[in-house]
Structure 1
Amino acid sequence: MLTSSARIGCRNAAAPAALHSRSAQTFKAFYATIRSLRNTYEPPEPDDVEPSEKDFILSLLRANPSLRDTKSYLASFGPRPKPPQPPAPNPAESPLLADQDVDAQTETKPPDIKPATSTVVASILNPVYRRTALVKLQAPFTDRQLESIARGMIYLEKLGLVSVIVVENDQLAKGEGGERAALTEEAMRVVNALENQGARARPVLGAVVRLGPRPGDEDSSEPRDYVLPEAHTKPSDLIHIRSALRAGEIPVLPPFALDSFCRSVRVDANDVIAALVRGMGEAAALDHTQGHGDESPTTSHDEIDLTPLRLMIITREGGVPSYARQGLPHLLINLTSEYSYIRETFDPRWKPAHPTALNNLELARTCLAFMPPTSSAVMVSHRSPSSLIGNLITNRPAVSSSLPHALLQGNRKLTPHTPTLLRRGLPIRVVRRVDEIDKPKMKALLEQSFRRTLCEDAFWERMQRDLDFVIIAGDYAGAAIVTREQCPAGTPPAVAPITYLDKFAVLPSHQGDGTVDFLWVALHDETYGLGLPFSANPNGGKQGAGEGRDLVWRSRADNPVNKWYFERSTGHVRQGDWVLFWCDAEVRLKTEEGRRANAGLSYLEEWERGRLASWNDVVMKIPSSWKPKT
């Protein structure tokens, strides 16, 4: 998904003609991307059209998992290490076998010839360890829509993720006569749709959760940033769900709960799901506690790990509308730092098309608080069963949120039905003084991320002199360090000083959990995206107020991260063992676009002259922060 501008490279930055030519190509390509914003989106398919993802293997290939994604999937669903087996007795030394003909035991026997198969493919298609997902089906759906959803549930089951489905009906008002029968009928429609697609499903029509907060919650003074569920469940209440899962069946529940008089009443499906997420996690922890040694009940063939690994909210409306994309869905949400801001910027005009978006956002925040840190939630339209496979295998959004904004706007994959991926995430903050940095933690982060030893004295002396700001994720799980590099006298004002990305680091334990994208989006909002309305970073810093500046950085030519940089930069120049990257200030580009009446640029602009030569002259002289390798 590289733009033409991101592929630009120059062999020699000192050659003015080459630089001018390449720079002109850069901006011509960029404006071509900007002009694509005028293209209209292709209309979505009607609800009753057969979805194109008919083949399970094709859906796997479309997920396009990376090596890290595959390893993460196998860690959750692949075979567990087996305990060492005692060595087999030597027949010649065993008294019980001494009188037997050893040669007869080893008589020639044709060897078993097994076809060579990919370990990764075999593990994905034959998961050993089964996990659970909580699924909210926000009905009503047509029969064809349920057929598409059921196909997605079956795909997930083949990959080892078994769904526990709670069915809601938005069009059925609470308190109406016959609502219980209508919800039961809706659950049976889902069961029939699953069985018609070849799955085994079981309706669980009795209440499995209890109305009201869990005993002890009201007395707890523990600080929390989520809303406690209005219902709860005990491990003994999950017997019907356990029974269905052991039998290889998908449990389907209507939103019923037991009140204080032990009557089964209709409640909000969000309360049922939140109670199940919490209760199933606690039941799974109890299972492991009661296990014997290394063998826990969840490792046997008829058991399944009850800890919810995913929360899936399947609706007709899709993901959460984004202020940064004129109402198209958010791609990736850091609930810890973005939840309040998303609610504040929710346009009332989106309400008719997305009536439950904010309630589902709150549901995701509550549920993820009780799920493992690696878990995620996805809000998806009924049109995209294959996107559930992509989310399961990669645990990434359909389109990266850290890609250039213009590229996202022109991306045909970004439609009103693009899923929204939600992670618990980490707090993001911006600091501007060295004395606000925890130096030991920052040192540990940099050294673990780069696997090098930091020259501490020289590094902190340089930061004291040149630091612009640092973006910190969580408790130093990741950081982006930006400096302001001074240029020689006579450098054009549009170039000096240089906004330089000195370090971009994420702990290995947080690579793949969204921290990289969260950091880069915050970096965009504080540098080259500053000044645009969608760059009002809710994580501190300048809050979108100010003038954007070009962001420049360098990377070793053999750095495997360069592919990621190519996709996010405006352009790059190769300099021997290094690659110089940059992102152009987006406000300036939009201003120039308007001045040119959307015609784009076909020649070198005055403010561009000398940029690459100045960047190369300054950036390539920045000393290394690392001690020499021994």
Structure 2
Amino acid sequence: MISLKPPALKLAARRTAATDLRPWFGPIHPSQPSHVRTLRQVNPEPEDTETGANDFILSILHASPSVRDSKSYLSSFGPQSRNSHQKLKPTVNLPDIDPRPPLVTTNVPPPSIDAVKQQVAEILDPIQRHTALVKIQGPFTDVQLESICRGMVYLEKLGLVSVIVVERDDWKRGEDHERSDAIEEALRIVKALEGQGARARPVLQAVARLGPKPGDPIDVPTDSLVDPPEAHALPSDLGAIRSALRAGEIPVLVPFALDSFCRTVRIDANYVIAALARGMVEAAQLSSSTPMGPYEFDLTPLRLMIINREGGIPSYARSGLPHLLVNLESEFRHIQDTFQSQWFSSHPSALSNLRLAQACLTYMPKSSSAVVVSHRSPRSLIANLITNKPAQSSSIPHALLSGSKKVTPHTPTIIRYGLPIRVVRSIHELSKPKLTALLEQSFGRTLDVEAFYARLDASLDFVIIAGDYAGAAIVTNESDPTDPSSPPIAYLDKFSVLPEHQGDGTVDFLWVALHDESYGLGLASALNPNVGGRQGRGTGRDLVWRSRATNPVNKWYFERASGHVRVGGHWAMFWCDAEERIARKEASLREAWGIHGLSFVEEDEMGRAKRWGRIVEAIPSSWVRT
């Protein structure tokens, strides 16, 4: 027997922010044949009140780094080779903290306290040191600046040294004291950094030059996503930054540049930061052949951090709350086109910061990211450094982010260079060799090529492709074997991402596109302009898929599915309800709420899970039996 909640509760679970979405671990137990979300009160996240060393350690634990996150962090900040500068690991005294997350039921034993301490100790002992470009976009009070500078000091302890450029929203070009005001603000930030125990150096001379770099093309294509450069920095201009870094100091720069007459003028900080992003990457490439000593830095910036008062970039799909993760390759133009008029007042620098991220990430390593964050979220800077991911997954429906996962105006926006997303609807548009290689590498099994593509030829609905087959989601139309005349269901046949792209945002980019083309169709949140996609036009369909009951990925599926049920001997079947249909029923229930005798299962949902189960069980395996 399948027990579903009443329509009102089911809609509330899909559309309100009160659902408990703690991760689900382990296989589906036979004594629990089905599951649909239930409402449960979640305790709000406590305020950040700790200070000192414990605050630093708790900030790391608050990031909740996974094993993959920790390995990724240590691959950049840990020892790189035998020639790397080595040092003895210090003794790190960590508080006794229970590593088990609250309100989680799991068959997997939690990590021991010693294991958690060891993980944190490794993170606290960076060997390689890298740089981050940071824009402190005030004005900030002394208390706010103290909090920001404490975050900069924490990042330095983790091996990421900030190259700070100052900016204030209340500065106006052409004022009499604009240069002296900029210098005063830089000195104020230096004082705040030193008050937190750091060593800082004001860099008061110009490190950028107005105009494009010599040799750059004069004409920029009209369809280019990157603004033409307003300034540039040569490797020889970075001497003051190198000197500060070698001396163990955080450089704090004023937004000055040299004009064509070698006069120092104040310019927009974004122009200076974009020039530094390119100049520091080029300088690092020139010195890459020289082994780094203990006081040398890889100048290549790994992060761009924009700390402001307004928070992240507002999203039309989240009713003005911030984007969690932005894929520049496919969303840059669309975010600009859907930017609402009222946001020009509430978030006046959002689009300029988005363009800054686009300009910088064009030159920075593909693994780099940008974060746009309010001064109210200092811990998110550490979380972004260690995990390189948003605070919450962008592929979880907005209505299901509740409690400590709730999106607020101060939730940061993470920006990745990303990958283009396209949708194809014919098997003849696919590169079978590339798709086969993707599936086999992702699943670690051998594809039954002939049978698999013969089935796709007969039942393919669409395939979403990320980049050059870095990831793919395959959806087919599957009919009921006992009732061929009934409408087919939308079945997620394969969802796969290359191992090297797991953890870089591709999984979320792909699932968001899957939402837009299937169960999210018909809503404003499905308007993303995927090449070949429907741009939100159409009627959403329930999306169904299966997974082995012991598959560890089921935890990830559970967080995104409307429900799941055990089918057959080894399968867990998941589904996502068509959101446009749910929204319509929610509206009708508002009018009919006073009517008694509402059924626990709506008429059009009677027996659907049993029907889906028959279809899912009948789908043949795609793999060669071993």
Same fold (TM over 0.5): yes
Give the corresponding residue for 2:548: 556
Larger radius of gyration: 1
> Which structure 2 residues correspond to residues 81-92 of structure 1 after superposition, within 5 A?
81-82=81-82
The alignment partner of 2:4 has SS state of: helix
Deviation string 1:462-498 (CA, Å, 9 cap, x unpaired) is 01000000000000000000000012465896xx311
Instruction: Find the counterpart in structure 1 of residue 607 from structure 2.
Output: 610
Partner of residue 273, structure 1: 273
Q: Deviations over 1:420-469 (max 9, x none)?
A: 00000000000000000011111111111111111111011001000000
2:99 aligned residue: none
1:498 aligned partner: 489
Q: Which residues of structure 2 form unaligned runs of 5+?
A: 20-38, 85-113
Match of 2:625 in 1: 628
1:563 Cα deviation (Å)? 0.6
**Contact 1:53/1:386, CA 8 A, preserved across alignment:** no
Aligned counterpart, 2:294: 301
- The 5 Å alignment of 1:221-620 reads 225-289=225-289, 291=290, 296-297=291-292, 300-408=293-401, 413-488=406-481, 496-540=487-531, 541-575=533-567, 576-597=569-590, 603-620=600-617
Q: Does 1:34 align with 2:15?
A: yes
| 8 Å Cα contact 2:69-2:387 kept in structure 1 | yes
> CA offset at residue 400 of structure 1?
0.9
CA distance in 2, matches of 1:387, 1:207: 31
Compute the displacement of 1:389 (Å): 0.5
Structure 1 position 565, deviation (Å):
0.4
The whole-number CA distance in structure 1 between the counterparts of 2:400 and 2:376 is 24
How far the C-alpha of 1:36 sits from its partner, in A, is: 4.3
1:28 partner amino acid? L
The aligned residue for residue 23 of structure 1 is: 4
Kindly provide the CA deviation profile for residues 193-231 of structure 1, in whole angstroms up to 9, marking residues without a partner as x: 101111110000000111111011125889953224211
| Range that drifts further, 530-539 or 484-493 | 484-493
Structure 1 residue aligned with 2:180: 181
Query: Which secondary structure state, in structure 1, belongs to the residue aligned with residue 572 of structure 2?
Result: strand
CA displacement at 1:583 relative to structure 2: 0.5
Q: Would the aligned equivalents of 2:7 and 2:601 in 1 still touch at CA under 8 Å? A: no
Alpha carbons 1:387, 1:419 under 8 Å: kept:
yes
Q: Deviations over 1:549-569 (max 9, x none)?
A: 100000112212111001000
Distance 1:417 1:566, change over 3 A: same
Contact 1:59 1:386 in 2 (8 A): yes
Q: Does the CA contact (< 8 Å) of 2:13 and 2:400 recur in 1? A: no
Query: What is the match of residue 99 of structure 1?
Result: none
Q: Given the superposition, is the C-alpha separation of residues 606 and 29 from structure 1 closer, same or farther in structure 2, using an over 3 Å criterion?
A: closer
Residues 138-157 of structure 1: pairs in structure 2 closer than 5 A: 138-157=137-156
Q: Is the 8 A contact 1:433 1:469 kept in 2?
A: yes
Secondary structure class of the residue paired with 1:430: strand
Answer yes or no: is the 8 Å Cα contact 1:30–1:570 preserved in 2.
Answer: no
1:61 aligns with 2:61: yes
How many Å apart are 1:610 and its aligned residue?
1.4
Distance in 2, Cα, partners of 1:53 & 1:525: 43
Is the Cα contact below 8 Å between 2:325 and 2:413 reproduced in 1?
yes
Identity %: 63
The amino acid across from 1:265 in the alignment is V
Preserved contact between residue 332 and residue 420 of structure 1 (Cα < 8 Å)? yes
SS at match of 2:536: coil
d(CA) in 2 for partners of 1:548, 1:212: 49
TM-score (norm 1): 0.86
Residue of structure 2 in register with 1:109 after alignment: none
Structure 1 gaps of 5+ residues are 1-17, 85-114
1:236-258 deviation digits (Å, cap 9, x = unpaired):
11111011111111000010001
Q: Please report the RMSD computed on the Cα atoms of aligned residues, expressed in angstroms.
A: 2.5
- Is 2:213–2:232's contact at 8 Å kept on the other side of the alignment? yes
Q: In structure 2, what is the Cα distance between the partners aligned to 1:36 and 1:400?
A: 15
* Residues 407 and 605 (structure 1), Cα distance of their counterparts in 2 relative to 1, 3 Å cut: same
1:258-284 deviations in Å (ceiling 9; x for gaps): 111111111111110001011111111
C-alpha deviation, 1:35, in angstroms: 4.3
Cα distance in 2 for partners of 1:29, 1:154 equals: 46
> 1: distance between equivalents of 2:356 and 2:350?
10
Indicate how the Cα distance of structure 1 residues 117 and 379 shifts in structure 2: closer, same or farther if over 3 A, else same: closer
* Rounded Cα–Cα distance in structure 1 between residues aligned with 2:153 and 2:17: 38
TM-score (norm 2): 0.86
Structure 2 CA distance for partners of 1:411 and 1:609, relative to 1, 3 Å: farther
Q: Cα–Cα, structure 1 residues 463 and 490, in superposed 2: closer, same or farther, change >3 Å?
A: closer
**How far apart, CA to CA, are the structure 2 residues paired with 1:623 and 1:252?**
62
Q: What CA distance in whole angstroms lies between the structure 1 residues aligned with 2:578 and 2:495?
A: 19
1:136 aligns with 2:128: no
For residues 116 and 538 of structure 1, the distance between their equivalents in structure 2, rounded to whole angstroms, comes to 44
User: Mean Cα displacement is larger for which, 592-601 or 462-471?
Assistant: 592-601
What do the CA deviations read for 1:48-76 (whole angstroms, capped 9, x no partner)? x9866660011111000111111100001
Q: 1:116 to 1:535 in 2, by over 3 A?
A: closer
Report the 3-state secondary structure (helix = DSSP H, G, I; strand = E; otherwise coil) of the residue aligned with 1:311.
Answer: strand
